[in-house]
Structure 1
């Protein structure tokens, strides 16, 4: 076990920096939300000082603030509905490169950006690689429909929990002004079908299951001496 595996921050930095090296001059890139992507932006700012020119589409207010601090020019999906590359983290990655995302409550915008990207690069440390997806699935919902959505989730065999704020009273409010339910299923036998089923519930905006981008996904797993790239 190398020190980056023992030190998640070192592994995240390694993966984030490696992803930044995949960015070419003139690219429009999607900027995910989370600590690993912050390292990507850090390295991109260094490359920009060396002459790299890029524009980024942030997936959250937090990412937008950090990107501006690093001097990254920001743009939108309205201006660029198809983008070159999206870089994002993940909470879990299975062998088929399906993901659970959303601990940062930004998965709806992250999924929009991933869908628009020609290539989707996922940066993680080794702890995020799993044999099967089994963590809680974040589900962004319209506050108006919280009760019926929770009832339908329970009928699907899960225990939904309204995510509470850490430094505020009451529920977490997403950048889209919605709530987050963390849906813990006893087992996720077919992630693709579960993602589709969740999307059919009235009041659900988007789930944190990412199963439809596997054909364009590259996963960078951070390590101290080198990064492992899947596939």
Structure 2
């Protein structure tokens, strides 16, 4: 059994019939979506990920749009890094604005990841803080990032010439800083800046996490409750 499968087996019992369940993106969550279909299909699914939405539809789930959903029983997602206080950086996928909506709607928000992504003190700046930005605010936001000591790059599309656009039609800006010793404060500065739709920092939104140790194969919870 792979470490992803071991994580999924720990997550499965949390899904009960009749629930509205949020599934994010990533390969571990995809494994959970597929495995859950064999155990409890009587759930409604909400997702920020077009890939997960397609998978859930093919598997026969009832998929509802987040704009018509005012409550989620439980949601599962991955992350790039997380800390021991329930905060996370979710920068790679570029769908953090829609992910954060579902995380906020959820009664409980669980991350499924490997233990090596857990940081003890502060986040590693190798993972950028990503901003989803309205196109008209691009110059304003780029200037603000520089003024805060960061280096900004506009994310470009891998399969075509040009910038990456989110599902909301906005730009993604990857922000690199020398350190994240004031990440919460920095995040607030950008989150309240005109034209910034959302940031990829999830400040104390995580209820719990299922962590797999790739070296030992042992799976544990971040908070044993």
Q: Which TM-score applies when normalising by structure 2?
A: 0.90
1:225 Cα deviation (Å)? 4.4
CA contact under 8 A between 1:29 and 1:83: conserved in structure 2?
A: yes
Q: Select the residue among 74, 90, 99 that pairs with 2:79.
A: 90
- Hey, what's the Cα distance between the residues in 2 that align with 1:169 and 1:193? 35
- Hey, what's the Cα distance between the residues in 2 that align with 1:23 and 1:219? 15
Q: Structure 1 residues 152, 98: closer, same or farther in 2, change over 3 A?
A: same
Superposed counterparts of 1:100-115, under 5 Å = 100-115=89-104
Q: Structure 1 residues 208, 76: closer, same or farther in 2, change over 3 A?
A: same
Which residue of the partner structure matches residue 126 of structure 1? 115
Q: In the comparison of the two structures, how many residue pairs are matched?
A: 218
1:22 Cα deviation (Å)? 0.9
- Hey, what's the Cα distance between the residues in 1 that align with 2:5 and 2:165? 28
- Hey, what's the Cα distance between the residues in 1 that align with 2:43 and 2:97? 24
Q: Select the residue among 169, 178, 182 that pairs with 1:186.
A: 178
Q: Structure 1 residues 107, 17: closer, same or farther in 2, change over 3 A?
A: farther
CA contact under 8 A between 1:57 and 1:75: conserved in structure 2?
A: yes
CA contact under 8 A between 1:20 and 1:41: conserved in structure 2?
A: no
- Hey, what's the Cα distance between the residues in 2 that align with 1:108 and 1:59? 9
**Which runs of 5 or more structure 1 residues have no equivalent in the other structure?**
5-9
1:171 Cα deviation (Å)? 1.4
Which residue of the partner structure matches residue 199 of structure 1? 191
Which residue of the partner structure matches residue 218 of structure 1? 208
Q: Structure 1 residues 162, 78: closer, same or farther in 2, change over 3 A?
A: closer
Structure 1 runs (4+) greater than 4 angstroms displaced = none
What RMSD in Å do the two structures reach over aligned CA positions? 1.7
- Hey, what's the Cα distance between the residues in 2 that align with 1:169 and 1:17? 41
The answer as to 2:68 corresponding to 1:79 is yes
1:152 is paired with a residue of what secondary structure?
Answer: helix
Encode CA deviations 1:66-122: one digit per residue, 9 max, x unaligned.
111222210133433111001100110112221000311110000000000000010
Encode CA deviations 1:163-214: one digit per residue, 9 max, x unaligned.
1111222111111111111111111113322221111111111000001314
Q: Structure 1 residues 85, 151: closer, same or farther in 2, change over 3 A?
A: same
